Each structure stands twice: as C-alpha cells, then as structure tokens.
Amino acid sequence: MATANPTMNEEVYRRAGLADTPTQAMTLQGAVLKTAILLVILLVAAAYTWSQAAAGATTLTYGLLIAGSIGGLITSVVTVFAPRVSPFTAPLYAALQGLALGGISAVFEAMYPGVVIQAVGLSIGVLAVMLFIYGTGVIRVTERFRIGVVADTGAVCLVYLVDIVLSLFGVRLPFIHEAGLVGIGFSLVVVVIAALNLVLDFDFIEQGVRYQAPKYMECYGGFSLLVTLVWMYLEILRLLAKMRGSRD
C-alpha cells in the first residue's frame, strides 16, 4: 500500500483503524464525490485570483499567490498528521491551493497566451486516460510497479531539492529551467511520473474501501488525489511553457 504521494501511506489507514459500522465505512462513491467537491472549490478559488490578475490588481494577485502557497502547505501538513480533521482541512487546502494556482496560471498566461487552457485540457485528459487504464486493468499495481514509481518520484524530488539549495547561492540546474530539448525532455519525464502516481492513488483509495476505513477517509482520499493533480498540472504547465519558449 505504499505510494509516492506523501499524503498516502499504509500508516494512515493503520492509524485510522476500522469503521465502527459498515454504514460508517469509506466508500468509492463517497471518495469520488468528495474529490469532485474539492476540485470545484479549487477551481472557484483559482478563478477569483485569475479575475484579479485580469483586472490588473497585480499586488493583490501576488499576495493571494503567496498566501495560498504558504497556507496550502501548512494545511496539507496538518491534514497529513491528523487525517480525522480532513473534512475541514481538505476544503481549506483546496481553496488555498486554488488561490495559488490562479496566480501562477495568470503569470504563465501573461508570458504565453493560451497556455493555461492547454494545460487544463491536458490535465483533464491525462486524468481520464489514467483512470480508464486503471479501471480496465491495463496497468496492474504490483509491488514492483509501486517501488518503481516511488523511486522515480523520490529522484525527482531530490533533483528539485538540490535546485532549491543551489538557488540560494545563485546557481540553478539548467535542465530544469531551460527551454531546450533537455529541459523539455526532463519536464516530459516528470509529467509521466506524476501521471503514474495517479494510478497509485486510485489503487490506494480502493485499498481503503476494502479495508473499511472510517467515513472521514473519503475526504482524506480526495485531498490526497488533489495533491497529485495539482502537481501534475503544474508540471504540464511548465512543459508547455518550455515548448512555447523553445519556438520563440
């Protein structure tokens, strides 16, 4: 039940235990509904920040971006360590993350007009494809598959961490930021890894349903899936920006 998503791991369900009664147990339909609600909250919040950027309120836009990023990080940490409060913190995380994504998207749109709608469309398409692949059993979530995705995701996180540390000294890893073939190739690999994480997340939610985890874990499952979706969207946005930049 291991997954590369830091919000989902076997210990989460162990701490949650079993539902008191079958009617209080987590269901797949409930997890899907909670995920959909969180997505709506995120999109509404993102639309608000986007509207402020379109209206020329630059200071407010960047303020919402920073507040959403910091607040979303804090809320996600609280949710991970206290899944029981996820019915309250998951919607708050979605709203805060939406504020941040709206600002980030506005910045990219200003540099590359039309890139945001392309990123949104591709994200929806990848989600649908991965859900179809998982549902039809084309990809089997075996132990080897889990280990491979976890290792690849860890490697990506390590590269980003090194880049952050080096940036403190004025040095950046060029293949992360450049718009050439190497930079585009790197972003494409990261998008693929993020998409494969979706498969692990789908499987993990089903594990919780079979385990008969408490009802509140539906919100936690939706929150965890949202974390991966946000990551994948940002990587797709970065990839499209690099591709546009390479043509300029």
Largest CA distance in the chain: 60
Q: How far is 71 from 201, CA to CA, in rounded Å? A: 24
The whole-number average pLDDT for the span 70-94 is: 92
Q: How far is 189 from 170, CA to CA, in rounded Å? A: 26
Q: What percentage of the chain has pLDDT greater than the value 90?
A: 48
pLDDT of 244: 84
pLDDT beyond 50 at 208: yes
- Rounded to the nearest 10°, the torsion over CA 232, 93, 204, 23 is -150
Residues belonging to the chain? 248
Residues 221-247 pLDDT 10s: 899 899 999 999 999 999 999 888 766
Nearest to 242 by CA among 191, 172, 187: 187
Three-state secondary-structure class, residue 139? coil
Strand partners, 25: 214
The whole-number average pLDDT for the span 182-209 is: 89
Q: How far is 148 from 169, CA to CA, in rounded Å? A: 32
The whole-number average pLDDT for the span 76-104 is: 93
- Rounded to the nearest 10°, the torsion over CA 139, 145, 150, 156 is -70
Residues 110-164 pLDDT 10s: 999 999 999 999 999 999 999 999 888 888 888 888 888 888 888 888 888 888 8
* Whole-Å CA distances, 243 to 51, 118, 133, 232: 26, 12, 27, 16
Q: Which two tokens stand for residue 184?
A: 């585009």
Residues 46-78 pLDDT 10s: 999 999 999 988 899 999 999 999 999 999 999
pLDDT beyond 80 at 97: yes
